[in-house]
Structure 1
Amino acid sequence: MTSTIDLFQLSPLPMWIFDVNTRFFLDVNEAAMLLFGYSRKEFLELTVEDLKVREGQPRDKTIEHLILNGLDKETQLLKKKNGERVYTHVVSNPVEFQEKKGELELVTDLTERIESERKMLESSERFNIVSKATSDTIWDWSLTSGSIIWNRGIKGIFGHKNIINHTTTMSWRYDHIHPEDRERVVLKIQEYIDQKIERWQDEYRFMCGNGSYRYVFDRGFVLFDENGSPIRAIGAMEDITRRKEYIKAIEDQNKKFKEIAWIQSHMVRAPLARIMALVDLIKDYGPDNDYNMMLQHLASSAKELDAIIVNIADRTP
């Protein structure tokens, strides 16, 4: 019996026993007193219902959502002596204590875990709010776990409908960079992290859900802890495909203009020079035996010049 009592009292997890008929606490261990802030005497004057958050009291809807959708029915929202709320997982077993029918409960504090999940959920919600005001795809990369949380842009802009909870791995992201761009981009990201450079940006082609590629302008900001170790990177990926296509169209047009300029400066000059020379000959020498031949050369050069002009017209955008 002594060893059982010792296990109860010295357990690092909060434990208590209550009367199933009156609901008053019959015994409580040190861990429970430490967590909830009550002395043993105060505990024994309370019922288990006194620790529960009553209906009508304000609740954190975000955390309640997590409890309802991500945890089981044994999750309970309790309150400390100072009013602070504690999210717990409670496991019960019937026991006989002091000749009374009791219930032994083991309590696990889930507050830290739920707070962490709440922050992730709020972070995702912030991404979605930002996505309504920008065409960028926002991403949040945990450098410790390797996971990336995306906003709605990864599905809406790039068509990756099968991503679960807007979360992927960094390997997934690297795999969707065009093979011709991948090594350059990956090495640059790693170089910036290794050299503790906070801001990074690059342009590359990113695969969409349908297998096609779009050009993106990607930039990020790396966060470091107090020891200088990288822990997180936050950034935005902008679809610049239209801009790249527009620039290419201008470059193609400039190429045609250069070809036209070359034709004008080289090909046009030759027949034009012959025409001018023939005109001078006809003017200076007048009709003779070579007159008809000069007219033929003049007509031939004129036709050549006309063909060049037609060619230039066809090349003009």
Structure 2
Amino acid sequence: MNTARQEEFEDRTPVASEIMYHDLFALNPQPMWVYDVETYGILDVNQAAVRHYGFTREEFLGMTILALRPETEIPVTLEAVSIVRKHEQLFSSGVYKHCKKNGALMDVLIQSNIVYVNGRKAELVLATDITSWIASEQERRMSEEKFKAIFDHTTDAIVLCDDNGCCTDLNEATRRMLGYEISDLRGICIEDFLQLPQEMDFNVVWKNFLNGEILNGLMKIRRKDGTLITGSFNSKSNILPGLHMCVITDVTESLEKKRELMASERRFKALVQEGADLIAILDEQGNYQFVSESCYPILGIEPGFLVGKNAFDWIHPDDREAVLALFLKIREHRQIRTEPFRFKDGFGKYRWIVTIATNMTDDPAVGGVVANSRDITDAVEKARDLEVSNERYRQQNERLREIAWTQSHVVRAPLTRLMGLVELLQSGDTAGMPVEMALGLIKSSADELDEVIREIVSKADKVQNDDE
């Protein structure tokens, strides 16, 4: 109001409209005050401001508007008031920081108009506390930024669809996964790249999905080039009214690795449980932690019977010390190899085995010493038989050499005498030896030769009989 009208109001009784406007100021639920734009002093304040700011009415009327601002905001206040001073009519609005009597800061939306009080320019201010709104707005923006960061940078394909299943938005991962350009995918229906089983109708599935049925699981996804990948499909309907989200994770590679792992595990199981070797895992004290199924056909002992027991209790007492001393070196050497030793089987007999032990205590999947043992009992027994056979042949050869020596030495003496006497008789020159004496010598030499031959035959027969 201008000065002339203000003076006119002072000379007469206020009309009903003035009382109404005064009540709107005094009873307004939002904080309001009037201040002098020259002195900054507060001229009037309503009850809502008293309640919200914590100052009494008297305290308000004894302070300036600068007391409502944090120290850092005072230059902004001075600048705003300087603009008001330059205008006769001005409506202004803005968000500022205010402080309560207890020092608490708040964000307020200030809306103001120029008024005149007793001929002096003043400003009527309406203050709305928007601290909570700004906080929620900041939280909303942060949430949107987080969603955008996830949407843009996740490796999973994220597709937003309308009620018809048509793509309204999608991320870069979708483009990479499906091989399309983003512009090509917008507007197409997810049915175009989602390959459902023949017995499933997409329209029925989508209708059920819109009605709250969960749509997820492993599904085949058709890429632009026609190749198929396996996707883990998860969806959520009505994340916003009429907006639905589908998240697709490409699990093709992981499924292939899983299949390879399962095949490897089957091969390992076949080797461990059905192989010819005894596979076991022991702790560093030699206690069985695992024993393969091959234990029973090899040793006649159920695998579960050995678990928890110490392997050295089954080793022959004569071999135990040497094997234990070698096993203790497993802490220094990753792998050790034993000499053949005897191990008691389930029937109380000792089997000859050799073991290769590998220290895998640092491998969390194993956590012990892997012992790969092979039964060599048959080989040891064959080697022992061969050794006995060789000894027998050696002795036989010794006797044969003895026979040969007899043949070459003992037989030679009587044979030489016989040959000499026969030669004398043939020549007729016996050097005065009577014929009867010569014949007697021939007879004795022949008898001696016969005895030697008999002895040779006897020894040869004995060698033959021993060999048989």
Q: TM-score, normalised by structure 1?
A: 0.53
Report how far residue 144 of structure 1 moved: 7.9
In the alignment, which residue of structure 1 is the partner of 2:320? 182
Paired AA for residue 201 in structure 1: T
RMSD: 3.3
Q: Alignment partner of 2:289: what SS?
A: strand
> Is residue 441 of structure 2 the alignment partner of residue 302 of structure 1?
no
Number of residue-to-residue matches in the alignment: 194
**Is the Cα–Cα contact under 8 Å of residues 127 and 150 in structure 1 kept in the other structure?**
no
Q: Assess, with a 3 A threshold, how the Cα gap between structure 1 residues 179 and 124 changes in structure 2: closer, same or farther.
A: farther
Q: Partner amino acid for 1:246?
A: K
Q: Are positions 1:255 and 2:391 aligned together?
A: yes
Note if 1:195 corresponds to 2:332: yes
State the alpha-carbon separation in 1 of the partners of residues 373 and 266 from structure 2.
Answer: 18
Cα deviations across residues 22-76 of structure 1 (Å, max 9, x unaligned)? xxxxxxxxxxxxxxxxxxxxxxxxxxxxxxxx9x979xxxxxxxxxxxxxxxxxx
Q: Secondary structure at the match of 1:220?
A: strand
Paired with 1:255 and 1:139, the residues of 2 have a C-alpha distance of 39
Residue type matched to 1:129 in 2?
A
Which residue does the alignment assign to 1:129?
270
Judging changes above 3 Å, is the alpha-carbon distance between structure 1 residues 146 and 312 closer, same or farther for their aligned structure 2 residues? Answer: closer
SS for the counterpart of 1:247 is helix
Q: Bigger radius of gyration, 1 or 2?
A: 2
- Quick one: higher RCO (CA 8 Å, sep 6+), 1 or 2? 1
Displacement of 1:221 in angstroms is: 1.1
User: TM (normalized to structure 2)?
Assistant: 0.37
Q: Percent identity?
A: 17
2:415 corresponding residue in structure 1: 279
Aligned to 1:139: 280
- For 1:1-317, what aligned pairs fall within 5 Å after superposition? 128-131=269-272, 134-143=275-284, 146-161=287-302, 163-164=303-304, 167-169=306-308, 171=310, 173-190=311-328, 192-223=329-360, 225=362, 232-270=368-406, 272-286=408-422, 287-316=438-467
Q: Secondary structure at the residue paired with 1:157?
A: helix
Q: Secondary structure at the match of 1:218?
A: strand
Q: Secondary structure of 1:210's partner? A: coil
Q: Confirm or deny: 8 A CA contact 1:272 1:305 kept in the other structure.
A: no
Q: 1:179 to 1:57 in 2, by over 3 A?
A: farther
Query: Please, which runs of 5 or more residues in structure 2 have no aligned partner?
Result: 1-213, 219-233, 235-263, 423-437
CA distance in 1, matches of 2:375, 2:271: 16
Q: Aligned letter for 2:327?
A: I
Partner Cα distance (1:211, 1:273) in 2 = 57
Unaligned segments of structure 1, at least 5 residues = 1-53, 59-81, 83-122
1:241 to 1:167, Cα distance in 2 relative to 1, 3 A: closer
Measured after TM superposition, the shift of residue 288 of structure 1 is 3.2
